[in-house]
Chain A
Amino acid sequence: MSVRNREQPNLKSLVRFMPEKLRNSPAWLNLLYVPALLLFGLFILYPFIRGLMYSFTNWDGYSQTFKWIGLSNYRRMFSDPDVARVIRNTFIYGLGSALLQNIIGLAYALFLNQNIRMRALTRTIIYLPAIISPLIMGYIWYFFFQYNGGAINDIILLFADEPVNLLGDPDTNVWMITIVNTYQFLGVAMVILLAGLQVIPKEFHEAATIDGAGTLSRFRHVTWPLLAPAVTVSVVLNVIGGLKLFDVITAMTNSGPGYSSASLSTLMYQLYFGRQDAGYAATIGNLMFVIISVVSFTFLFYLKRRETSLA
């Protein structure tokens, strides 16, 4: 510190003698982010504005002409029973899997934060599904849920006469997909929470133990508050991941039967490529944009505030 202070006046006087070009460099340095900004404008901002425009048209997705139809797409969206169902599904995928992933992930993280010989192996195995394509993961779990010869039905048939149609039944299929998404990404929650646990100083636990705190109260008053930043990241990541779920649904049910297991993203895909209803599909995209940003920012805001109040 003292060394730095002594040198600072020296540096300043040197800068005065530096060539003009170098001293003014910060301004032209900004050119360095121009490529990134250009890509961002072309592939995100411009399409986004076009998307707002298309939602007021009856464009079919390929012809050069379309009619302006005002708010009809939005009116149609809010009275569409399919959309109501799909919004419900999207929330189950987003909030349901985030809840399950973080509860199980926290349990695993607490378990693995102990002195266990198999820790590295267990962590590797639990995290493995997260690096495999969700599409492939969907196909793998399809072998479990299949009606004819599915692994789960083989067990059910030991006790019952009829197999259960887990993916064909609109009451269960959404939950089965939620389970698969949970299984696949709970390793992410576990790794993040485990990293959070490992930065908590051991002395805090020792001090609490000396003060007579039991396991439960140590968790409540030491671990849980200090884990808050990790919980924020893990919950927000998982909520966003679940709300935009696409691959697993496509692999397991292809949104069916009907739209009973569709999320907003697969519905948008079906409307655009299946029914050439591009204007309406763009409207659904805008709804998805609003829902995901509002939900994620709400979570982020609430969890960040909780971090400071707990600290």
Chain B
Amino acid sequence: MWIKNVHLVDPAQGISGIRNVLVQDGVIQAISTDLDTGEQLSDEQALDGTGKYLFPGLIDVHTHLREPGLEEKEDIASGSAAAIRGGFTGIMAMPNTQPVIDQRALVEFVKHQGERAGLARVYPIAAVTKGQRGEELTEMVDLRAGGAVALSDDGRPIMNAEVMRLALEYAKLPDLIVITHSEDANLALDGCMHWGETSLALGLKGIPSSAEAVMVARDMLLAAQTGGKLHVAHVSAWESVEIIRQAKRQGIDVTAEVNPHHLIFSDEDVTLNSTALKVNPPLRSQEDCEALLQGALDGTIDFLATDHAPHTWEEKAQPMPEAPFGILGLETALPAVWQYLVQPGRLSVEKMVEMWSALPARRFHLPGGSLKVGEAADMVLFDPLAKERVSRDNLASKASNTPFLDQELRGLPVMTWVAGGLKQKDRRIL
């Protein structure tokens, strides 16, 4: 199959321009700049990509698929379908399920459920500590052998610094990256939004930026001391960006991600009952949004990631202090970033694709991230003009806790392939 006359964006190859792409047997066979050749090759198998973009399939390093144990919110099949609709061909699944993914058998279960669903590639992340209790390390070597691609106690901070130090040391054995949920549980205690003028006016308990930044600083020092590999999940505060920038200058082996909602919304958007915007870490100030974008542009922040966090309607239909943290991400993140950041010219399409595909693939040694000749055809056809109203009916996710609910998003993935197999066409899962 030829995809003709499409704007190919593949930062790993330094390509951003009109190309014809030949896919056969699930792999990229040829990339041609010779548009005339493309014309001549027109046949029934050709797909006209005029006016559309072709990206390597996006890879999301931070999702919560809720299976096993919390299937009322999401399961691996519904989460994979949401991924495919959102343009993601690979997703890393956080281990804070019930039970916590802290043994090889559970890692293999997640992997197999992903394969059974047969949509996006599902990569399990295993827990750093048994039960994510922050006390004893998991069998990291065995977890890796079972298919774990990283380690994280995401959702629960490792409060004991010595346990964190030991984790960074021991994770060198299986050569796994430790993904930190950097949050001081005492500073964040019972908060439900960013600590600032808005929280003080609304009487909603605030989570100060320091709750994140002190832990980011601690983890940088421990990474420097141990030489371990670190990835900082969901950076939200400018102070954290500054600390990570310094750490990178010092050569510490650290990467960081930012979630689209932290770039797009601030605490000024939060009202007394906006539970769709209740997320941890919380939406911070406008200055933080700016610092995060700056960090992304200068490479301090490496990846975009959704922190896809489904919750049931009933759980979110509570007053703010009682509703759970989390925003749905997989199906809205790409159009939202497109609409709020790429279209206004604040983030280039090339940088977006690099942060969401090439760089995560390289960091976590995952397939994909580029459409080089010979690579598996994990790719997404993106139509910048396609429009869709986000609704409970069209979301593939079981949940609908998104601030974009009932809003129209413009710029959507209209076809998604995994290993050359078409999984989504015209917003429908195949």
**A and B from one complex:** no
| Contact surface of A with B, Cβ cutoff 8 Å | none
| Contact surface of B with A, Cβ cutoff 8 Å | none
